[in-house]
Amino acid sequence: MNKLIIANWKMNPASEKEAEKLLIETSKKIKTLKDIDLIICPPFPYLFLFKKNKTTKIVLGAQNVHKELEGSYTGEVSVKMLSSLGVKNVILGHGERRKLGETDEFINQKVLTSIKNKVNPIFCIGESSRDRDGNFLSFLEDQIKKGLNGVTKSQIKNVVIAYEPLWAIGKNAQREATREEFVEVKIFIKKVISDLYDSKSAHGIKIIYGGSINSNNAKSFLDAGADGLLVGRDSINFKKFEALLDAIK
């Protein structure tokens, strides 16, 4: 099965010119690689660049969406707008948005709207710290149950779950996760999905890993059973992203 690589550009790069350069370089690179499905999630102002440059081998994703389809919501973007620009996936529940105050219930509404309108969620979960007694697992279970509330058995196959421990993501990451830590959580997520839906759904759902992924550790998470990777910092520096893609091809 192809590995799913999701580039989360976050609030980068600084200008349209740089974004277009990064897109063109990445697009050329991905054309040379097999067995990798690449989704790029740029900031909203750069979405149009993907249409302009006809990036056939790259799937377009977004970093957020609003729960309503239209109306008086200053500063928000609807799923229909995203669809009209060719967006197929959207990151929801990311730790950096939860930190801004997004609750499980709020994220759940976005998940439901997105699925209904055929933009598939990349649903992120992750604990802020670990404890020896494994209480963080109940925390993750709670995030899954609340975030996917109302998602039906026929819809769940369209959701990708990204495990992103908050202590391992972004500039302030304390350390990298180990592959054993990922495997433990992956098994746990499968169990929760199996209990919520059935074993077929648990078997079919894609579980990816994100948090300080780079060219040195990418392959080991895939070898450990991650269906893909969510890459932040190392997706916005082309040389680093190229090295990462080469390391897993």
Q: How far is the CB of 92 from ligand PGA (least distance, A)?
A: 12
H and E: helices and strands count for the chain: 10, 8
Distance CA(180)–CA(224), nearest Å, equals 8
Shorter beta-carbon distance to ligand PGA: residue 120 or 201: 120
Number of residues that bind ligand PGA (CB under 6 A): 13
Greatest alpha-carbon pair distance for the chain in Å reads 51
Closest CA to 91 of 65, 114, 63, 69: 63
Among 213, 222, 244, 248, interactor with ligand PGA by CB under 6 A: 213
Among 173, 183, 196, 243, interactor with ligand PGA by CB under 6 A: 173
Q: Enumerate the active-site residues.
A: 94, 164
Among 232, 241, 244, 248, interactor with ligand PGA by CB under 6 A: 232
231 binds ligand PGA (CB under 6 A): yes
Cα–Cα distances in angstroms (integers) from residue 159 to residues 91, 151, 153, in the given order: 10, 9, 11
230 binds ligand PGA (CB under 6 A): yes
Among 170, 206, 215, 224, interactor with ligand PGA by CB under 6 A: 170
Buried b (16+ CB within 10 A) or exposed e, 134-168: eebbebbbebbeebbeebeeebbebbbbbbbbbbb
Q: How far is the CB of 2 from ligand PGA (least distance, A)?
A: 20
With beta carbons less than 8 A apart as the criterion, state whether 66 and 76 touch.
yes
Q: Which two structure tokens, joined as six digits, stand for 222?
A: 């895939």
Q: How far is the CB of 8 from ligand PGA (least distance, A)?
A: 4
CB-based contacts of 75, cutoff 8 Å, min separation 6: none
212 binds ligand PGA (CB under 6 A): yes
Q: Which stretch binds ligand PGA (CB under 6 A): 31-39, 48-56, 207-215, 220-228?
A: 207-215
Q: Which of residues 6-25 bind ligand PGA (CB under 6 A)?
A: 8
Give me the residues that bind ligand PGA (CB under 6 A), please.
Answer: 8, 164, 169-170, 173, 210-213, 230-233
